Structure 1
Amino acid sequence: MIGTSTVEYIFIRSCTLFLHNIAPVSLLYCVLLLHPMPAALYINRLPLPIEAWLVAEAAFFAIFFLPYRWHLQRSAIHPILPPREERAKLFERCNATVRDPEKYLSKWFLGAKEEHIKRENVKEFFRWAFLNTGQTNNEDEEEIEGYVKTMEKLLGRNIPLGKGSARSIRTVTDPATSEPLRHDGDLIWTELPTFGYTFTDELGNFNPLASNITNDESRRWENATTFFAQLTSASANTDFSLWALTAFQYAFGPWETPTSPSGIAVQAACL
């Protein structure tokens, strides 16, 4: 196993530098071989096996790697944008559900602190959320600026000018195709293919009858139970009513060992 000494660090960095520069050096060597050079720049031919390896590296780098990297970095293809009026209504609907604007904004920026979230960060986030783009367009600046001002009213403060170090949550895309990421053929953010077992893990790994439950764990379990109860009542496609039986058992028994139900168990059953 590699240690942490200075010599070993230098060795690892040297290996990394060597591997990173194989392709550029190979390409440069091929250019020098093919292009007439002044006598001062003339180079001796390397042994045939090494030369063949360098040519192969250069060919792979130029023919496959560079085009494929360009392909991966191209902009994603997004659906047609709804009209501005509909985008504004969506923005208002989102704001209507916000109880704690500071926490809301921070969560969208991965828990970043207030001083790290500046005006350009918020604009960048709104462009992605409502315009499906990361590019600045003068035609849309008035709309984005309006969203920022509305957010400032919610926050009760001005958002500082400039751009901070915060990064917002973005949609998950497949780097190979730039298409929305799928799991077993289903869209991650639309069809929620992992929702079922995530739900099971979230609620099944918590025992409300345990004696060492923290306040944060109780609040998290209560919020999750409330969410799934409301989700069940709101849609016929999401039925988690079987979990209610488990909640009733936690609250009213029968239990494996004689015990008294905790407050959180009874509260969850009432939800």
Structure 2
Amino acid sequence: MIGKTLYEYIGIRLAITAIRLVAPLSLLYIALSLAQRRVLVSPWLAAYAALEASFYLLVYLPRDHYLQKPAAHPPPIDFAARQALFKRCKSYLVGHAYPTGWFTRPDFKREDVVHWTLWALFYSDTALPEWEDEIDGYVADIEKILGRELERGESDASLPEKSGSMRLTFDPVHTLHRPFAWYMIVGVVDAISSLSLLRAGFTHYATPKWFTAFPFRPLTVFSKRSAHSELSYAYRPHRS
């Protein structure tokens, strides 16, 4: 969808920069208006700046803080269940593409694999002494899949974005602010897409909690109830 020319790249980078500047500029505008005790430029601009500043302070920041809370993990499984799970996963692995895909650099080391195994099978960030032999076995099997022996040690901890493994429920959630206007644009595009599907003969099925979606999807009011409480979808009967 995005072109590959230099001008298109510059254009998209400028657009991203402009979007990211909306919140800080809105806060700056509000601060200057309060300092001078008058509305600067236009009441319409003041209203929009107040909206964007409120969205940043009252929606984005609390949401970002909430997303950093520890994830709820399932109950730990015992040795037999871990062995069965690892064996089942291993039976589907062909070549080394799968294990390497969980690491953020190609030269990952043995301790990186240990940390990943602790997350994937033990739901833990630290290893208990009684797990060491079991973990060694998993690492040895992964080395066989990779076709090489892993170097001892751990990737450079000073570069977390370039080292280690992906542990989705342990890693911090990095968020980026988008202005309220951006979500409204997304809502319009979503509505257009929904109308296109409707004209093509699709029926939308919504979950009971459709009203929790943001931006709000007005057409969902007319949707039928989904067969699954947590899955919404569009369906059209087979025509061939």
What's the TM-score once normalised by structure 2's chain length? Answer: 0.49
RCO higher in 1 or 2 (8 Å CA, sep ≥ 6)?
A: 2
